[in-house]
Amino acid sequence: MLKKILSTVALFEVALLAGAFAMTAQAADNEKAVRDAVESLGPGIKVDSVAPAPMAGFYQVVASGRMVYVSADGHYMLNGNLIDLQAKTDLSAASWAATRKAALAKVPASQRLIYAPDKPKHTVTVFTDVDCGFCRQLHAHIDEFNKKGIAVEYVFWPREGIKTTAGNDTPSYTKAVSVWCSADRKNAFNEAMKGATPKAATCSNPVKDDFELGERLGVNGTPTIVTENGDVVGGYVTPAQLLQALEAPAGTVGRGG
């Protein structure tokens, strides 16, 4: 009897393993179908992540700075925010926030321009461009941001992109690189944000990586302000408006994508 019971248990375990393997294989097939379907939409579309969506039968896909939902067979795509009606929660916004938070955590302080008080209460990452008028207005109040306990950490996002159609470096990219490679980086940035053209300089720099990161995270303009939680707060805001947003109750800050 004992041998029979042990044999039955062994067969049950084998069946479980076989079932788990089949589920894993099916999931891999589904993810490939979803990835292939999205990438077939056009040249240059790059899928950054594929994961099961909260909605049964669909996968959540982040590709080229957009978040979409694709059926497991790759036949259907939904473009828009996914809302949990019972919980009254924007699930897409929450996913975007988590994605931004994780990605920005990988950008070291050595690749940022940091303006911070001694003991910051809040820290934001700002995708900026030295030719952007609203970016200049925001930076004009940098001392006030710091006085309110807000550390501002800049990364570059040249609005013109990296290369022109002719294959040359864009003016905004060139200026960002020149600022970064300046002997006095902060002074060069401060002056550029007042309208001065930085002295041409080149060196190893993070500007291209910053720009590509912004594209993956859905940045489409400057300034884009991202909180420590990965939420987006505008656009240009005043120091008072930003502090109010940062101290708002959890789940009420920013937008998802």
Question: The domain that contains 221 carries what CATH number?
Answer: 3.40.30.10
Model confidence at 222, pLDDT cuts 50, 70, 90, reads very high
- Percentage of the chain modeled with pLDDT above 90: 80
66: β partners? 63
15 with 117, same domain: the answer is no
Is 1 within a domain?
yes
135 with 58, same domain: the answer is no
213 with 150, same domain: the answer is yes
71 with 159, same domain: the answer is no
129 with 240, same domain: the answer is yes
- 203-206 long-range contacts (CB < 8 A, ≥24 apart) are 203/177, 205/177, 205/180, 205/181, 206/107, 206/111, 206/155, 206/156, 206/180
The pLDDT tens digits of the residues spanning 235-248 come to 899 999 999 999 98
Is 86 within a domain?
no
The pLDDT tens digits of the residues spanning 133-168 come to 999 999 999 999 999 999 999 999 999 999 998 999
How many domains does the structure of the chain reveal? 2
7 with 59, same domain: the answer is yes
Are 206 and 111 within 8 A, CB to CB? yes
Model confidence at 18, pLDDT cuts 50, 70, 90, reads low
Model confidence at 6, pLDDT cuts 50, 70, 90, reads very low
Q: Inform me whether the pLDDT recorded for 189 exceeds 70.
A: yes
60 with 129, same domain: the answer is no
111 with 154, same domain: the answer is yes
Is 97 within a domain?
no
Model confidence at 26, pLDDT cuts 50, 70, 90, reads confident
Question: Could you list the residue range(s) of the whole structural domain that residue 68 is in?
Answer: 1-80
126 with 206, same domain: the answer is yes
Mean pLDDT of the chain: 89
140 with 75, same domain: the answer is no
70 with 120, same domain: the answer is no
128 with 31, same domain: the answer is no
pLDDT of residue 2: 47
pLDDT of residue 13: 55
Nearest to 46 by CA among 34, 32, 35: 35
